[in-house]
Amino acid sequence: MSASHRVVIAVFPCVDLLDVTGPAEVFAIANRELSGGTPYEVLLAGPDGGQVRTSAGVRLATDLTFEEVGDRVGTLVVPGALDSAGVPVVDPDLVGWIAETARHARRVASVCVGAHLLAAAGLLAGRTATTHWATADRLAADHPDVVVDPDPIYVRSGRVWTGAGISACMDLALALVAEDHGERVALAVARQLVMYLKRPGGQSQFSVPLWHAPAQRRDIDELRAWICANPAEDLSAAALAERMCLSERHFSRVFRKETGATPAAFVEAARVEAARRLLEGTDEPLDRVATAAGLGSAETLHRAFRRRLGTTPASYRRRFRTAA
């Protein structure tokens, strides 16, 4: 493929399997959908050649070693890996190779916790980036020069792209295809993959209960779970403080200390999450969705969606509805 767009995917011991195969499949199907333009040549590069054992136990055969990659790289894709303690793998030799190879690449993309490797290679300094929500705090703590946004499916900052948790690798790869060949080809690939949705980068990668880490106080954790399960109840700070048998001021202070959010912000996020589920899974009109989610009116629902998700409830439903 002399006129191909070379995609080099780094593979190394315990790499997440889907981080590698997901983007590779997207690029392969894109080649079948192209009626013109530059096709992709996908190559797996490993430290020593031969086979690499992934986190799933499946072995991948590499096409070339890291040393053989050279300077003809269209897109460098950096997947991630976690060690037995759930900590992102950041191997110094791999980081050095990424930093050197990225100098020659037209663009660089990380998948999931691969963002930790890009950050260690200095490629995210001064940029906004995302990663799997569970390691976002670690990425921000380890690299204060990176603006870590744990919410989006993917983030583009110049020629550097970062993707969220594992399955979001497909969304990231589709976005790369769209940049290269346009939305029509990307949507055709999504249909072939039976991905009914081509999610925008700003789409949230997690739900409210997933993102908020456990609090030190069990009663606060129990309250958050109750809020998420009962979005239509009276969830004012006064009502929640009474439920906790605390003064409103003390409750608000404790809640923010334990969760990093005000009671009002958490309640709105939980209600938007409830509304999202209703919009995805039912055909209920917007006013009923708003009532069931505790947002009161379609107008309040609209404002909350604009503020939290950057879209309207109607647009969200058109894009993400799964009900027949």
- In three-state secondary structure terms, 210 is helix
Residue 26's CB: how many other CB atoms inside 10 A? 27
Q: Which of 122, 107, 16 is nearest to 60 (CA)?
A: 16
**Ramachandran region of residue 59, left (φ > 0), alpha (ψ -120 to 50) or beta?**
beta
Tokens 């890996």, located at residue: 81
Catalytic residues: 112
DSSP annotation of 162: E
Return the amino acid letter for 221: D
For the chain, the distance separating the N- and C-terminal CA atoms, rounded to the nearest angstrom, is 43
Where helices occur in the chain by DSSP H, the ranges are 17-33, 92-102, 114-120, 136-142, 168-181, 183-192, 208-211, 218-229, 237-244, 248-259, 263-281, 286-292, 298-309, 313-320
- Strand, helix or coil for residue 163: strand
Give the separation between CA 174 and CA 184, rounded to whole angstroms: 11
Residues in CB range of 285: below 8 A, 6 or more apart:
none
Instruction: Name the residue among 211, 312, 221, 305 with its Cα closest to residue 258.
Output: 221
Q: 91 burial class (0-12, 13-18, 19+ CB within 10 angstroms)? A: middle
Radius of gyration of the chain (CA): 22
d(CA 68, CA 81): 23
Q: How far apart are CA 266 and CA 195, in angstroms?
A: 31
